[in-house]
Chains A and B, each alone.
Chain A
Amino acid sequence: MNLHEYQSKQIFARFGIPIPRGKVALNSNEVKHIAEELGGKVVIKSQVLVGGRGKAGGIRLARSPEEAEELATLILGMEIKGLPVRKVLVDEAVSIERELYLGITNDRTARCPVMMASAEGGVDIEEIARRSPEKIIKVYIDPLIGLRDYQSRDLAVAMDLPREYWKTFTGIAEGLWRVYTAHDATLVEINPLVITADKRMLALDGKMSIDDNALFRHPDLAEMRDPDVEAPAEVEARKYGLSYIKLEGEIGCMVNGAGLAMATMDIIKLHGGEPANFLDIGGGAGADKVAAALRIILSDPKVRVVLINIFGGITRCDEVARGILSALSEVKPKVPMVIRLVGTNAEEGRRMLADAHMITAETLVEAAQKAVAVSKGDLIYEHLD
């Protein structure tokens, strides 16, 4: 999960990384008061979890508290890439001399964290990586030892940072490393890290992504999750421990195991259909989880047929059948279902569903073909009462 800029910067500040003076506001009146408090020019920054806020007009400079109030009214009424702006961060405006980039992320291949710096801050790091990868300097961090000061100095030298800033910079790098480890981050980023006209270094913008698997030891961070960035069905699915991602097609999918769920979507597409979702019920799912999964799939009005593909291992097919029956009696779906059960207790599962009027299939290919045919109206199945 991703944190907002203001949340990230508040954390940075607690770890000794200097940030501009500023406050969060929910309405334009508050913005005006904050601007008065800060005195002089302020920057009003929409707090939404998407890139390109500036281009969308979500970041504006105000020269007076009155202008700040006006601009805030505008920004707080905006939607940026489909997300409503509910909060703005009001920061003191600073005059910038240089913009740098500093971030830490996980390198899957090297199996360790990597700190990246660039003398060309202020633009998207992926943009720099595409345009001029040589301008990104990397140091790999031994996870058992941590970031060493010499590594930070190496970055400072490589960025041509004047010597007078080395000490401040290594302090910021060390702080960022501690932010990364203390919060189980998968990404921490200061972009830009600026040098101001009055020779200060400041984290002007901040970004943090947290490892979802580590949220059990960070209940405070888990509470910061922004519900706006997820479809309601995805939030609902997480409550049941289901992994659900909404897509645009008509064929609802319920599968056990992530790899098999992807392969099932692929084979639907291979046969000319479009999956409506990715859904992994996980290993060993019981009847109630299966019922919840079916409810979530059917909550999508675009779904015209549901394909259920279960390869029983730890998951028992009779448990899945029980879940399907309980969901059917509750939801009374109007759409036909294609089902394929293989593996642990498959016979029993099939017997239980014999009267449920479902289209059955032996193989994955057959299941996909039938589901696609139903979704296109080529196969009509009339036992829905």
Chain B
Amino acid sequence: MSILINRKSRVLVQGITGHEGSFHTQQMFSYGTNVVAGVTPGKGGEWVLDGKIPVFDSVKVAVEATGADVSVIFVPARFAPDAIFEAADAGIGLIFCITEGIPIQDMMRVTRYLEQKQVRLIGPNCPGALTPGESKVGIIPGNIALPGSVGVVSRSGTLTYEVLYALKMKGVGVSTCVGIGGDPVRGTDFIDVLSLFEADPYTEAIVLIGEIGGNDEERAAEYIARHVTKPVIGFVAGRSAPPGKRMGHAGAIIEGGAGTADRKIAALEAAGVRIAQHPEQVAELVAPYLGR
């Protein structure tokens, strides 16, 4: 009932002994995620979570010892590009990078390298993914979503939680929620996730949460018009944002008249996407499409 991650995913945490890494490893583990290993260079041989999860010095050794196939990265921005390269070189096929603040030129080198390696990166500066009832990789609070048939994809973090919570309040469940991140250069984009949801038999409807900056929503709209048969509900944040100012996320900026919420909303509506006026309304708009 999911895309990208499920209860069988064997998850490795890079930066597992750090402040964020150790907290969220606990959270992921409690949720039921199959966390098999952690990596912190220099701490190989230690164990975390009361001896439940082994720590290794390198991703390569961790993969050999545990068969990890998904990695989630919590290391600080200046070390994160290296962590991504390391995971890719060790044969990990799906990497989630939660870290915020990675320089854009680093990310351009990383994404180009990963394209050649056929490795999927989600993020950076993203909350990860959640398949309710099965697995969560990253920092999305597990208790705000029910299992179900709505696929959620978003450039944002807490705004996504708001939408998940609104869906839960309406009794609407989620197949998988994927946060692709708020940076201008990232791995997976809307189109990649839309194609996965379109192909997933358990996903009945899709919720797309965008924001100002760039043209990801416009490109997603083009893709939806041509390739997506499932109903799509959209929300775009930043209608009231002034031009030329970076709204928190590195990628959320209106430049030279491009990247406005109005333009994105118009493109999505033209592709048949129903647009919610606020996050709570997403649940009202998606409910009629389910269980048909």
- Residues in chain A within 8 A of chain B (CB atoms): 106, 108-109, 111-113, 126, 129, 142-144, 181, 184, 186, 211-214, 216-217, 243, 245, 247, 255-263, 265-270, 275, 278, 280, 283-284, 311-314, 342-344, 363-365
Contact = CB atoms under 8 A, between A and B. Distances in A.
Given A112-B112, A143-B112, A259 B157 contact: yes
Contact of B280 (A111, A143, A364): A364
B184 interface: yes
B247 A245 contact: yes
6 contacts: A112-B108, A181-B105, A280-B248, A343-B165, A344-B141, A364-B280
Contacts of B154: 259
B185 A311 contact: no
B237 A266 contact: yes
A262 B108 contact: no
A61 to B, nearest CB: 30
Contacts of A261: 247-248
B249 interface: yes
Greatest chain A CB density within 10 A among B103, B140, B212, B277 is at: B103
Contact of B239 (A256, A266, A280): A266
Ordered nearest first, which 10 A-B pairs have the shortest CB separation?
A259-B156, A258-B248, A257-B158, A259-B159, A214-B103, A262-B237, A260-B158, A280-B248, A143-B108, A243-B248
A265 B247 CA distance: 11
Given A263-B159, A311-B162, A313-B140, A184 B103 contact: yes
Nearest to B212: A262
Greatest chain A CB density within 10 A among B20, B237, B252 is at: B237
A263 B278 contact: yes
Q: DSSP majority for the B interface?
A: loop
Contacts, number: 169
A223 B111 CA distance: 30
A216 to B, nearest CB: 6
Interface in B25-44: none
A213 B102 contact: yes
B144 interface: yes
A20 to B, nearest CB: 28
A260 B159 contact: yes
Contacts of A278: 241, 245, 247-248
A270 B249 contact: no
Contacts of B118: none
A142 B111 CA distance: 11
B289 interface: no
Contact of A214 (B105, B211, B251): B105
Contacts of B235: 263
A263 B104 contact: no
Contacts of A109: 214-215, 219
Contact of B108 (A113, A283, A312, A344): A113
